[in-house]
Homo-oligomer: A and B are copies of this chain.
Amino acid sequence: MRRFLDLADLERDEVVALLELARRLEKHPEPQALAGKILGLVFFNPSLRTLASFQAGMARLGGSSFVITPGQGTWQLETRLGVEMSGAAAEHVREGIPVLASYCDALGIRAFADGKDLKSDLAETTFNAMAALVDKPLVNLESAMNHPCQALADWKTMDDLGVPRDGRFVLSWVYHPRALPLAVPSAAVHMAAYRGMEVIVLRPDGFALPPEIMERARRAAALSGGSVRETTDREDALAGANIVYAKEWGATACYGNAEGDAGLRKALTSWCVRNDWFARTATDCRLMHCLPVRRNTAVADEVLDSPRSAVQHEAYNRLVVQMAVLYKLLKGM
């Protein structure tokens, strides 16, 4: 494995093997496995879990890391090609990214969606332009439409909790004051489908995931025996659910149009997961969320503070699965 950019790049067996490696490292730590190795981390967007868990993960394997945050301690980096750089950005990623790659043994990059042109974001224009410049092992720390580390952690979390491989996984849109990117919902539907689950995307009108994302999840379902459908009917979706995976995202019906998005979402504040959402789910149905979550906006205290919540477990698994990814990338075993 030379890159970890998309769960879909891995055969299903490879994902399972990566999760086995994660469990092995969890039980039998190897504190010198990556001694002398250096991970460079580049954050074009804020981070808490990714920042802390990658630094901790490298340290737990005996390696080290450095962090670059363009626009904060480091100048802004230009990502567009061919422009005359007379604005705020002092350096182009065409220089900055290969330079950073030359200092480390593996590089991680976080670059959220531009959020203006859906086609461009679906094509991962920005991330791919940078990835093409890197000749070292590379990790996607969240791109426009993907978050493979989160997806892998979520898969392991469901394994840990004994959620049936063919259980019902409901990805539900939840309210947020602003449009958020599609990276996590896109990664989550694909992951659950690839795991073999009955995936239902529950979302209001105007918030359907792009056809390309749904189709990608369906291809994964075809390989694993799972299924993928979408609905606006909450009661129908939640009945018998094993997982409610709550996530905020922007209105795809008016992608890149903040006013249009605001108009659609203002009537949707009731999309906050509360205890009554679990009235007809499986008894042991769990709440998942990638975090950060706005309490009592996206998910109510009563759910987050209940035993249903798996959010801490998911976040902890970020550390565990990323150690496996780093191990695989840097040790190749």
Which residues in A have some Cβ–Cβ distance to B below 8 Å? 29, 31, 35-36, 38, 40, 43, 46-49, 51-53, 55-56, 59-60, 62, 64, 66-70, 72-75, 78, 82-86, 90-92, 94-96, 98-100, 102-104, 177, 291-297, 301, 304-305, 311-312, 315-316, 319
| In contact, A99 and B312 (Cβ under 8 angstroms) | yes
Interface residue from B49, B73, B83, B305 paired with A46 (Cβ < 8 Å): B73
Interface residue from B40, B55, B82, B104 paired with A301 (Cβ < 8 Å): B82
* With contact pairs A84-B297, A85-B297 given, residues A48 and B60 touching in the complex (Cβ less than 8 Å): no
Q: Can you report 26 residue pairs joining A to B where beta carbons are below 8 Å apart?
A: A36-B59, A36-B60, A38-B60, A46-B74, A47-B74, A48-B68, A51-B66, A51-B73, A52-B100, A52-B103, A55-B64, A55-B66, A59-B66, A72-B72, A75-B292, A84-B297, A86-B177, A86-B297, A95-B311, A96-B291, A99-B291, A99-B312, A99-B315, A102-B312, A103-B316, A103-B319
How distant is the Cα of A53 from the Cα of B49 in the complex, in angstroms? Answer: 24
| In contact, A92 and B48 (Cβ under 8 angstroms) | no
Chain B residues near A66 (CB-CB < 8 A): 51-52, 55-56, 59
Interface residue from B72, B92, B296 paired with A295 (Cβ < 8 Å): B92
Interface residue from B85, B102, B177, B295 paired with A319 (Cβ < 8 Å): B102
| In contact, B73 and A47 (Cβ under 8 angstroms) | yes
Number of this chain's copies in the complex: 3
Chain B residues near A75 (CB-CB < 8 A): 46, 48, 292
Complex: chain B residue closest to A54, CB-CB: B66
How distant is the Cα of A316 from the Cα of B95 in the complex, in angstroms? Answer: 11
Chain B residues near A95 (CB-CB < 8 A): 291-293, 304, 311-312, 315
Chain B residues near A31 (CB-CB < 8 A): 35-36
| In contact, A293 and B91 (Cβ under 8 angstroms) | yes
How distant is the Cα of A190 from the Cα of B30 in the complex, in angstroms? Answer: 44
| In contact, B103 and A56 (Cβ under 8 angstroms) | yes
| In contact, A43 and B73 (Cβ under 8 angstroms) | yes
Least Cβ distance of A330 to chain B in Å? 14
| In contact, B48 and A83 (Cβ under 8 angstroms) | no
Interface residue from B51, B60, B74, B319 paired with A51 (Cβ < 8 Å): B74
Chain B residues near A96 (CB-CB < 8 A): 48, 291-292
Least Cβ distance of A30 to chain B in Å? 10
